[in-house]
Amino acid sequence: MSLQLGIPLFVLSALLQATVLPFWRVFGGQPDLIVLLVLAWASLDPGQEGMVWAFVGGLFLDLLSGAPIGISSLSLVPVAYLIGVTEAQVYRSNVLLTLVMMTGGALAYHVGYMILLRFLTDYPAAWSEAFRYVTLPSVVFDAILALPVVYLIRRWYDRLHPRRVAI
């Protein structure tokens, strides 16, 4: 993703996630726009660019939240790496696998975030309540929005990286 597209997209997504979406919570959860964008890009790009955007997006999230700087990046970068090392063509051809990957990635991000928040900041967390009332509703939101986000990111990716056709 080019810087001219990526930086404004991630800034706008982080601003929406921090200011508007908390008012649209349903059952305690809200969609994670940055997580969806990072996972969609990591699933399409065969390189390590998804990890860079995971780091940048995580920093934007942390700058606009009350969490310590770097917690979101630390929990999002490994997820982007695991998705990025798989073959990108697998996700292009299989919609169900894309949905499972996006949902599993969002779940892994939330679990990693809770673990880091607990052990790095010594923040007392009620694991079952946090999982039931924040993580699961957020992951359901992410699963609902996963395919439209992947479709939009795929269109941008194809414009930025046209495929070469051999004759």
Mapped to the 3 state alphabet, what secondary structure does 57-89 carry?
HHHHHHHCCCCCCCHHHHHHHHHHHHHHCCCHH
Instruction: Tell me the mean pLDDT in the region 65-77.
Output: 90
The residue ranking higher by pLDDT, 103 or 27, is 103
Residue range 151-156: mean pLDDT, rounded: 85
Tokens of 27: 């059952």
Give the model's pLDDT for residue 54: 92
d(CA 120, CA 140): 27
pLDDT surpassing 90 at residue 1: no
Report residue 117 as tokens. Answer: 């928040």
pTM of the prediction? 0.86
Average pLDDT over residues 25-53: 86
Nearest by Cα to 111 from 63, 82, 143, 76: 76
Task: Give tens-digit pLDDT for 92-137.
Answer: 677 888 889 999 999 999 999 988 888 887 777 788 888 888 889 9
In the chain, where are the structural domains located?
A: 3-160
CB-CB contact of 18 with 65 (8 Å):
yes
What does the alpha-carbon distance between residue 71 and residue 90 come to, in Å, rounded to a whole number?
Answer: 30
